[in-house]
């Protein structure tokens, strides 16, 4: 068959996951900007977000706290690698435990996000699967996350074993869901 008649094929993205390093913290702030829906708040900048006490807890002094675990998604499709997503787990301490999403000192909170242009292409699912696999390997029995109730990713979270345990009012006064994934105890 001549080339012009060959069926078209969509280029598959090559997404690699790697552990986050201290050099990734600025990118993780960008991912928190999307995960927290701050990008949808009129006039709120990334710098504004970095001083918001409801959000600082997710990255303040990142990597220096016991139990900080993070993955970075890297798109290797083009000539240059490009960071496209992140997921991380963090145990909340001190005043952070007063947040409505806190469960207990053994349950880390998960943050996950991908850049908007690759939503729906599987990178979020890969990040979720791998970070939960790592959590299981560390013997972490529960992981909590929160998401806007209207966030389409809630179905992704449910596919990965998260269940809605509470409907909460978020920092901007709209409805979010608090979701928990519990790993069954070994028999």
Question: What domains appear along the chain, each with residue ranges and CATH number?
Answer: 12-182 (3.40.630.30)
CA-nearest of 79, 48, 2, 68 to 172 is 48
Q: What is the pLDDT along the chain (187 residues), one digit of tens a residue?
A: 333 333 333 333 688 999 999 999 999 999 999 999 998 888 989 999 999 888 999 999 999 999 999 999 999 887 889 999 999 999 999 999 988 999 999 999 999 999 999 998 889 999 999 999 999 999 999 999 999 999 999 999 999 999 999 999 888 888 999 999 999 776 5
C-alpha dihedral (161, 145, 120, 59), degrees to nearest 10: -140
User: Token digits for 50?
Assistant: 């970095």
| DSSP characters over 20-78 | --GGGHHHHHHHHHHHTTGGGSTT--HHHHTT-HHHHTTTTTTTSSTT-EEEEEEE-SS
Q: What is the pTM of this model?
A: 0.88
The model's pLDDT over 101-119, given as tens digits with 9 standing for 90+, comes to: 999 999 999 999 999 999 9
């Amino acid at each position: 068959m001549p080339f012009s008649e060959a069926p078209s094929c969509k280029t598959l993205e090559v997404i690699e996951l790697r552990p986050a390093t201290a050099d990734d913290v600025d990118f993780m702030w960008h991912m928190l900007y999307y995960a927290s829906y701050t990008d949808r708040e009129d006039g709120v900048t990334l710098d504004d977000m970095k001083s918001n006490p409801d959000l600082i807890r997710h990255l303040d002094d990142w990597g220096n706290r016991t139990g900080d675990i993070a993955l970075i998604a890297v798109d290797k499709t083009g000539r240059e690698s490009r960071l496209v997503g992140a997921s991380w787990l963090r145990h909340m301490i001190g005043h952070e435990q007063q947040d409505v999403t806190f469960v207990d000192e053994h349950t880390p909170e998960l943050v996950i996000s991908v850049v908007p242009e690759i939503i729906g292409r599987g990178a979020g699912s890969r990040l979720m699967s791998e970070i939960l696999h790592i959590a299981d390997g560390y013997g972490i029995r529960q992981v909590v996350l929160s998401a806007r109730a209207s966030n389409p990713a809630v179905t992704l979270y449910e596919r990965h074993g998260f269940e809605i345990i509470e409907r909460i009012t978020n920092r901007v006064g709209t409805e979010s869901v608090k979701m928990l994934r519990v790993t069954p105890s070994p028999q």
